[in-house]
Amino acid sequence: MPETTKDAVRRVKITQTGSAIGRKPGQKETLVGLGLRHMHASREMAATPETLGRIKKVAHLLKVEELA
């Protein structure tokens, strides 16, 4: 398996901008899976296909920034 350095991994910063109140259960669970439990909470994560899929599912509740 090839080694990946921290510099080679793309990273994104996600911030929850919309409330989970009144959302479908799958959307609430996706926010929790991303580590976002409150409004304006932020996380920095690796931009893996799994993470990007979760972000796409609740994109209307998030602000996404790509980190350099």
Average pLDDT over residues 18-26: 95
Q: Residue 27 class from Cβ within 10 Å (0-12 exposed, 13-18 middle, 19+ buried)?
A: middle
Mean pLDDT of 13-25: 96
CATH architecture of 9-60: 2-Layer Sandwich (3.30)
Structure tokens at 34: 């991303």
Task: Report how far residue 11's alpha carbon sits from residue 31's, in angstroms, rounded to the nearest whole number.
Answer: 18
Residue 44 region by backbone torsions, left for phi larger than 0, else alpha for psi between -120 and 50, else beta: beta
Q: What percent of the chain has pLDDT over 90?
A: 85
Nearest alpha carbon to residue 23 among 59, 64, 63, 66 = 59
Of the pLDDT bands very low, low, confident and very high (cuts 50, 70, 90), residue 6 is: low
